[in-house]
Structure 1
Amino acid sequence: MAALRLMFHLPSQVTGARCTSAGTLAGSCLAHRCLWDRLHAQPRLGSVPTFDWFFGYEEVQGLLLPLLKETQAASPLRVLDVGCGTSSLCTGLYTKSPYPVDVLGVDFSPVAVAHMNNLLEGGQSQTRLCPGHPASCLRFIQADAQNLGPVASTGSFQLLLDKGTWDAVARAGLPGAYQLLSECLRVLSPQGTLIQFSDEDPDVRLPCLEQGSQGWTVTVQELGPFRGITYFAYLVQGS
């Protein structure tokens, strides 16, 4: 959680259970939607239309593109980014993947979803996004990652991405994080891959994932360091 604390200027222990109408973002709980609505509504510096905590697409394309290449039985390959926020993961995959991808970004913040749909259509004085492969497509939908039933059927995605969503949900308690994991594995193809990106140490995260992903293979890869912080990619994969 070091990266999230630095981003929000959070203390080591976040105790706020309610969102405040004024003051710093640190007064809110990371699992509450109003914090993210406020964050995504803030003006962006310069001309960068996306906002990435941890890191963006460029830092992990070396991990993602080989996975896309290996999983071309489904074409286009269906990718779900849970808790996508206004990150560059979805847009990077859509505009830069040489392989056909059908990318869906979901977030419970309507502010984030509206921003990304506007960006996709060429709003905010940006050029309309163009796919890296002519068969690729990209959508953003408001949805709760702990209840994906309205937007995703069982086994319908070959690749799931979670960049910091487990970290944020777990701040309100591990039961919510396990519910998030359960929903991700429900909508993941039996031969698919879930990747959780986090700065949480493997000694802490791996036992949780192994407990909640019985029947799946759990591995970890070190990433970075990026801006002085080491991150990890936790891969949960089917047979």
Structure 2
Amino acid sequence: MAALRRTLHVATLAAGARRALAGSLAGSCLADRRLWDKLHADARRGSVPTFDWFFGYEEAQGLLLPLLQEAGAACPPRVLDVGCGTSSLCTGLYTKCPHPVDVLGVDFSPVAVAHMKSLLEGGQGQTPLCPGHPASRLHFIKADAQNLEPVASSGSFQLVLDKGTWDAISRGGLPRAYQLLSECLRVLSPQGTLIQFSDEDPDVRLPCLEQGSPGWTVTVQELGPFGGITYFAYLVQGSH
């Protein structure tokens, strides 16, 4: 969470907007939905369609695309982005992945979900998003990542993405973060992969993931540096 408490490298926002959002986070509880409603509403007034903590799809695609190709048993493979916000992960997978993919973004902020639905459908005078493959699909649903029962059945996704969501929820206490992890693993295929993107040091994150993921393999890869900051991709995987 260190990078969330200082000005982050947010490639999709102008410098002035980045400073304003970083100021809004100071002393705030990042597990509070009202905070995210306000941040997403503020971001919608800008000139860019998406907002990314840490980094966006372009920086993550080198890791994501090979994993999707490995998930060839499911066609198209299903991807869940928990706490998607207005990130470019979902839209990037949908518009740029050359293989068919079925992407679902969930967030507890109705403001974020409404914005992403509008972006997908070409609202507010924008051009609708075009899939990178004719069979690809993209949906956004309002849901709490700590309780995915209403939107996702057990073992139904080959890839689950968490970019900063554990970081935010853990500010409200580790039990809530472990509930998020439990739900992510419940909806993940036994042969699938959960990826947590974070700037948190492996010495802190790995013991938490290993404790909360018995029977799963936990590894870490460095990403970046992006904007002078090194990030980590924590992979929780079943049998491959």
Give TM-score, length-normalised by structure 2: 0.91
Moved more, 115-124 or 43-52: 43-52
Q: Is the 8 A contact 2:44 2:115 kept in 1?
A: no
Partner of 2:126: 126
Partner of 1:205: 205
Q: Secondary structure at the match of 2:115?
A: helix
Deviation at 1:123, TM superposition (A): 1.6
User: Amino acid of the residue matched to residue 67 of structure 1?
Assistant: L
User: Amino acid of the residue matched to residue 103 of structure 1?
Assistant: V
Deviation at 1:6, TM superposition (A): 2.1
Moved more, 181-190 or 120-129: 120-129
Structure 1 regions of 5+ residues with no counterpart? 9-22
Percent identity reads: 85
Distance 1:118 1:79 in 2: 20
Q: Is the 8 A contact 2:198 2:231 kept in 1?
A: yes
Distance 1:87 1:236 in 2: 22
1:202-221 CA-partner distances (Å, limit 9, x unpaired): 00000000000010000000
User: Amino acid of the residue matched to residue 122 of structure 2?
Assistant: G
The alignment's C-alpha RMSD in Å is: 1.4
Pairing of 1:1-239 with structure 2 (within 5 A): 1-7=1-7, 24-44=24-44, 47-239=47-239
1:21-59 CA-partner distances (Å, limit 9, x unpaired): xx9442431001000000000045763200001000000
1:47-89 CA-partner distances (Å, limit 9, x unpaired): 3200001000000100001111111110010000000000000
Deviation at 1:232, TM superposition (A): 0.1
Distance 2:206 2:92 in 1: 28
Distance 2:207 2:4 in 1: 22
Q: Give the number of aligned pairs.
A: 225
Q: Is the 8 A contact 2:76 2:101 kept in 1?
A: yes
Report the CA distance shift for 1:204/1:132 in structure 2 as closer, same or farther (over 3 A): same
Distance 1:152 1:44 in 2: 28
Distance 1:113 1:166 in 2: 19
Distance 1:128 1:102 in 2: 17
Distance 1:114 1:129 in 2: 15
Distance 1:41 1:189 in 2: 34
Distance 1:226 1:140 in 2: 28
User: Amino acid of the residue matched to residue 34 of structure 1?
Assistant: R
Q: Is the 8 A contact 1:7 1:53 kept in 2?
A: no
Distance 2:201 2:57 in 1: 21
User: Amino acid of the residue matched to residue 186 of structure 1?
Assistant: R
Q: Secondary structure at the match of 2:131?
A: coil
Q: Is the 8 A contact 1:98 1:133 kept in 2?
A: yes
Report the CA distance shift for 1:201/1:43 in structure 2 as closer, same or farther (over 3 A): closer
More helix by share: 2
1:91-127 CA-partner distances (Å, limit 9, x unpaired): 0000000111110000000000000000000123321
Q: Is the 8 A contact 2:107 2:113 kept in 1?
A: yes
Distance 1:44 1:222 in 2: 31
1:135-183 CA-partner distances (Å, limit 9, x unpaired): 0000000000000000000000000000000000000110000000000
Report the CA distance shift for 1:194/1:43 in structure 2 as closer, same or farther (over 3 A): closer
